[in-house]
Structure 1
């Protein structure tokens, strides 16, 4: 196979992309954090927006998932009012659209935004309203985007059933799925079986953070016990693959590939939390070659100082990927989205394929 032609970052930004794994509280603009912190009296490491942005990346770049998660204390602290949540969601939609993202699923944990007496429903309603506003502004700017929302339950807490019911309650207003997140070690997904069984009875989609800091047992439980539609990260599935000229897949890896279970890989974030040694050594190269359902995501744009376009550019530099591979990742993501089939197909056929046909010509 001949190598793909090199592609420029500026051109990647203009190309349509899809995003499945992005945390709302991990993607705030530094300047917004500074302004919102001043309003509520929250103390930040610095009030200089540019310096604060650098601080988040440095603090998250520790090789530890637990240390990485500590940075969220500052973003969550300024997202405790309906106005702040609405603003953050609005800016999120605009920022993603400006990066060429035409479809995004953005997740957040409603239970983390109750410190100023909002109800769970009010939290969700504020975020959904912000996404509607941001999407409208993006369309006016000539960069239309469709945003779906995932509601996340924290795996160390005991509110997953409540959050699952909240997600289903708002399913016709922009919430497209459910997720659990947080430190994996010591908090297996099977602790939340009641929630997952409820979601299955309601014919509702869900993904599970698994196979990031913890290994194969986390992935196995997420799929075989809990019935996850997708794997949040799932990068440790590589532990079930024996390397060599012709890599050998173990039973679990073969099952994940054969069932086309999507992997929500987040290269830069995976390096920061120690799940991968570097971009060049990230298992995404092997998993792509073996034709797993690989998708490329940001996880937390603020903490990783990244965007979907930057992630694609990093992979292009590391693995020699060109437009054919970027299109493949993008279509994989759209095929794996939690919106109805006809909507996925429309975006693929009317937005993504025509754009890449020109780029590949």
Structure 2
């Protein structure tokens, strides 16, 4: 079965590296080499990136029933449920992760481990997205929940630095499409800098719940210059992406189905108005290959829209979405793309630099990250 957009992958046109970076094309991109490269993660859900062992331990502590009797079996259950092809099974996985994230201590632990695990895989900058409204069942206020995650991110950064794998971590607060718009959540994004909040995200079911349903929230955030990313082009098509653009999204969460606005045209491709806007305005796409396969965007990585979108000049970034449910890591996602499309070290560098520059950190901090961490890391790999 091929991609639902029906476009076949063509031979990739080689892109030229910037003149200040000329890696040896003979560098072997082994799993070990990829693992050592600096990486940037823009789309990684806090409630989808827990360690299975942490879910198991906290569930035992609070008396929450689980569908498996040990952490290894639980990890397999999460992946199998996400792979099942049924939305009911997939959504059940989050019932269990959210259940163990209802106290300040548990949120802090999960956020700390989120940083430590990504840093160990070479991630130098990451944004953890999550919906605070789903984490008040234990009595926390929204602000207390956000503060707990901020404390966990700080603790994780300290742990990562002490381990020799320093990482910059921030959080995105998320609202859900199918719930009423919340000014309080918007204010968490507006006033949350002390808790490392750098922006706002909209997630949840796309079909039947357009981004425009939260128009007042987005207008408020725009008035106060709060950066926004919106899930779009994952479970719904081009109209969903257009709706996110209309609400002034600076990035698109997934955006894979943008290829439905691209059609073969002789020996090339014709871009529709939405695809043209996204490409020409350089709106980054937060693509997550394994997760996109699980949600039915396409059947194999070789058929993933990433290859075509990259070749046509879109800003593509590499993400995991939900590492627990997809049983994946940033290094694994990069490796899958290398195997599928023949990307080399210069390509991975470009994806990483583009992702760093698309982050919601202040511009000088992003550029220091590129100049002081990412470029030296890739230069060292090219010499190795």
TM-score (norm 2): 0.91
SS in 2 for 1:243: strand
Pairing 1:238–2:259 present:
yes
Single out whichever of 155-164 and 233-242 deviates more from structure 2.
Answer: 155-164
Match of 1:19 among 18, 29, 41: 41
User: How far 1:65 moved relative to its partner?
Assistant: 5.1
* Equivalent residue runs for 1:194-273 within 5 Å: 194-224=216-246, 226-243=247-264, 245-273=267-295
C-alpha spacing 1:281/1:198, structure 2 compared with 1 (3 Å):
same
* CA-CA distance at 1:67 after TM superposition: 4.2
**CA shift at 1:89, angstroms?**
0.4
CA–CA distance in structure 2, aligned partners of residues 238 and 19 of structure 1 = 22
Question: Residue by residue, what CA displacement relative to the aligned partner does 1:8-50 show, whole Å, maximum 9, x if unpaired?
Answer: 1111111100000000000100111110001111100113111
Gaps of 5+ in 1: none
- What secondary structure sits across from 1:280 in the alignment? helix
Secondary structure in structure 2 of the residue aligned to 1:7: coil
1:37 aligns to 2:51 (yes or no): no
Match of 1:112 among 134, 137, 159: 134
Cα distance change of structure 1 residues 326 and 12 upon mapping to structure 2, 3 Å threshold:
same
Aligned counterpart for 2:355 among listed residues 302, 311, 333 = 333
TM-superposed deviation, 1:68 = 2.4
How far apart are residue 154 of structure 1 and its match? 1.1
How far residue 275 of structure 1 moved from its aligned partner, in angstroms, is 1.5
* TM-aligned CA deviation for residue 197 of structure 1: 0.5
Matched, 1:58 2:56: no
1:217-257 CA-to-partner distances (Å, cap 9, x unmatched) read 10001102x11111000111000001353111111101100
More displaced, 300-309 or 8-17?
8-17
**Worse-superposed segment, 168-177 or 268-277:** 168-177
Q: Which residue of 1 aligns with 2:312?
A: 290
Alignment length (residue pairs)? 360
* Superposed counterparts of 1:87-236, under 5 Å: 87-224=109-246, 226-236=247-257
Q: 1:172 to 1:86 in 2, by over 3 A?
A: closer
In 2, Cα distance between equivalents of 1:166 and 1:253: 32
Does the 8 A contact of 2:151 with 2:195 survive in 1?
A: no
TM-score for the superposition, normalised by structure 1: 0.97
